[in-house]
């Protein structure tokens, strides 16, 4: 059964952390992407992994959810600080080695930690992520601003994702709670992809929950400011140094980072690649059984 979560002081900020399962079981740390709360790891998926005999941990990044809402002018930071929060959290929880499962930018952070702290990572799973050093943020920025990509750049987002933000850029920003939630549902629909059923009512309930538990919804944009402070933050050419057993997962209808997963798997020695039919960039109920089974299988050793 889950706890109600705890607030833990890490690197001078407060992080909300929630644990599931027997604390003596192998620990699995779930790291969500940028501007995303830990609750975007669905309860059912977390439950399946926990039932497989794992101690599962999810948390809110700084400036999301119940974690610290920071004044960026007074306490600026870069993505290196968000990465360092992972090691700080492991230290605070007394975990020497962990199975790290990252989604989107969380997978990128996981790769970075696996390069810098190989002794702390029992295994790595990257879901819907981009290869470390690929500068995916710059690729997305160029795509959204209709700028040409650099030769050899990563594949850019699919048109549906670009078109959504192009429309948003020419429209007044959401001014009310209802408008914010409506936009988030529209974004979730695009991220979800066109194949699997999209439950708008369930998404609305989730967006309401996320908004209600956020200390200050305005500070989530600090993640963008952190990236802008150092857009070339990623170490280049180091994926081949990762020694942790690695599983890379990508949906057949990934709209934001299409084909990026295969590039990760090609660079990490011995990495396994799993493609999930119909999945986009979200973690809907239809993929929970397959995804949990893959994570459990991958985290059996180590």
Range of the domain at 92: 6-135+216-298
CB contact at 8 A, 252 and 276 = yes
> What is residue 1's predicted lDDT score, i.e. its pLDDT?
35
What's 90's domain CATH number? 3.40.50.1820
Does residue 260 sit within a domain? Answer: yes
For residue 202, being part of any structural domain is answered with no
Whether 204 maps to a domain, the answer reads: no
Number of domains the chain is built from: 1
Residue 259 domain-assigned? yes
Measuring CA to CA, which residue among 128, 206, 203, 192 is closest to residue 161? 192
| Nearest residue to 274 (alpha-carbon basis) of 244, 256, 254, 255 | 254
Residue 114's alpha-carbon distances to 65, 69, 118, in angstroms, are 26, 27, 5
Encoded tokens for 2: 């889950």
How far is Cα 135 from Cα 7, in angstroms, rounded to an integer?
Answer: 32
pLDDT of residue 302: 60
pLDDT truncated to tens, each residue of the chain (302 aa)? 344 789 999 999 999 999 999 999 999 999 999 999 999 999 999 999 999 999 999 999 999 999 999 999 999 999 999 999 999 999 999 999 999 999 999 999 999 999 999 999 999 999 999 999 999 999 999 998 889 999 999 999 999 999 998 898 888 989 999 999 999 999 999 999 999 999 999 999 999 999 999 999 999 999 999 999 998 889 999 999 999 999 999 999 999 999 999 999 999 999 999 999 999 999 999 999 999 999 999 999 76
pLDDT of residue 170: 87
Q: How far apart are the first and last CA of the chain?
A: 24
Q: How far apart are CA 280 and CA 189, in angstroms?
A: 10
Residue 205 included in any domain = no
Q: How big is the CA angle at 105 (ends 104 and 109), to the nearest 5 degrees?
A: 125
Tokens 């007394």 belong to residue? 94
72 in a domain, yes or no?
Answer: yes
61 is a domain residue = yes
| In a domain? residue 140 | no
Q: What is the pTM of this model?
A: 0.96
The conformational region for residue 146 under phi > 0 = left, psi -120 to 50 = alpha, else beta, is left
């Amino acid at each position: 059964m889950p706890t109600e979560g705890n607030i833990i002081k890490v690197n001078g900020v407060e992080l909300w952390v929630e644990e599931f399962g027997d604390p003596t079981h192998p620990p699995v740390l779930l790291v969500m992407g940028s501007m995303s709360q830990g609750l975007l790891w669905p309860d059912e998926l977390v439950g399946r992994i926990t039932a497989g005999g794992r101690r599962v941990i999810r948390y809110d990044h700084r400036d999301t959810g119940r974690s610290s809402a920071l004044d960026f002018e007074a306490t600026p930071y870069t993505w290196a600080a968000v990465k360092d929060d992972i090691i700080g959290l492991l230290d605070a929880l007394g975990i020497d080695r962990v199975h790290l499962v990252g989604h989107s930018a969380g997978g990128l952070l996981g790769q970075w930690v696996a390069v810098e702290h190989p002794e702390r990572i029992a295994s790595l799973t990257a879901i819907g992520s981009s290869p470390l050093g690929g500068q995916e943020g710059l690729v997305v920025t160029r795509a959204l601003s209709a700028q040409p990509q650099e030769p050899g750049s990563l594949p850019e987002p699919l048109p549906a994702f670009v078109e959504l933000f192009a429309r948003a850029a020419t429209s007044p920003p959401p001014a009310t709670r209802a408008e914010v939630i409506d936009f988030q549902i529209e974004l979730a629909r695009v991220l979800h992809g066109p194949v699997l059923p999209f439950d708008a009512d369930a998404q609305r309930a989730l967006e309401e929950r996320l908004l209600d538990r956020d200390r200050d919804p305005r500070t989530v944009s600090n993640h963008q400011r952190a990236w802008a402070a150092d857009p070339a933050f990623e170490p280049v050419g180091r994926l081949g140094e990762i020694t942790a057993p690695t599983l890379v997962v990508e949906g057949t209808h990934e709209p934001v980072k299409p084909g990026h997963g295969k590039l990760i798997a090609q660079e990490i020695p011995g990495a396994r690649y799993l493609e999930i039919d119909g999945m986009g960039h979200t973690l809907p109920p239809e993929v929970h059984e397959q995804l949990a089974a893959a994570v459990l299988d991958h985290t059996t050793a180590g």
